[in-house]
Amino acid sequence: MCAEPERPATISQNDKHDAQDQNGSGCDGKRGARRDAGKLHEERVSDLHGEEAAARTPRVAVSHSGGMNQLRHGVNALQVGEVELLLTVTSGGTAVHLAHVANPEDAGRAAVHEYYFDANRRSAPLELSYDRAALLAARWAPMTLCGREWAVMIAGEGGPLSELNDEVAFAPTCGRCLSIMDKLFPAPAPDQRLPLIAKLGADSILEHGHAEVRDVPGDQQQTLRTAVRTLVRQRAGENCRSYVQESVIFFVSEAIYAEHAEDNMRAAAEAIDRALTGGDLTPVHEPAWRLSWDTWNIS
């Protein structure tokens, strides 16, 4: 029998698809491998560049001491001669007061309450900027110079005491505390022209009932006011009041002014008449009751 010739292998349609899938998977695998290799290369280059940049960049030491190297501020106080005065506020008040150091035999109090340093409170600025021991030292009188009970030290150069209280002050605003503090300063040396100006001012008050002295230095104002009032009382037996507006001091004695009321009214009427008739309003000379501190400089 003759052998039947071998038939060529027949590839089905499904086999073709399987072969194509296998070839495609192989290409995708190659492409994926190339992508992975490229990515690793880029990451390695980036790491090398980062290491070089880090080597070129100087390292900065970071302190974790919580501000221990930062300058801490003490209490917010004024030094007047040998007297130390704490700047304080009262509960519900807006004025800034002064409290002095407590007497040795009296119990003092701290500038702030201890709970300001409580870790549970929002007082980070206080912890970082102020000296805890200085603020908690019980050394202050419980009453202000004006006789009020104060609540807490007002914040100063160290900034707010807490994030909830941003009030800061560097000088008192209570008039009574300021008046008492002024007496702690040494008395200024009286100017050599002061006796002469005080006499001229008293003469003007006795003649017109009032006087005005301009350009008076601040450190001489209180002494001049006292001197003029004393002279008027000694020479006329009448009281005299004084008022200050910057560098100008006004003196008036109501009793003496009433004695010259007719003359004063006449002078006022003449000035009004000149104004209404278009006359010259420029005074020919300064009135006798107006004085200038600088005019009598005899140094």
3-state secondary structure of 20: helix
pLDDT, tens only, 13-27: 444 444 444 444 444
Are 140 and 108 contacting, i.e. CB atoms less than 8 angstroms apart? yes
- Can you give the residue ranges of every domain in the chain? 77-182, 194-296
Identify the pLDDT of residue 295: 87
- From CA 99, how far away is CA 178, in angstroms rounded? 11
3-state secondary structure of 228: helix
Q: Distances from the Cα of 230 to the Cαs of 82, 126, 210, 245, in angstroms?
A: 32, 52, 15, 21
pLDDT, greater one: 56 or 289: 289
Q: Which two tokens stand for residue 231?
A: 């002279």
Mean pLDDT, residues 29-47 taken together:
49
Q: Which two tokens stand for residue 104?
A: 């040795």
Instruction: Give the strand pairing for 248-252 and 152-153.
Output: unpaired
Residue type at position 50: G
Instruction: Give the strand pairing for 210-214 and 248-252.
Output: antiparallel
Identify the pLDDT of residue 65: 32
pTM score, whole prediction: 0.53
Identify the pLDDT of residue 30: 44
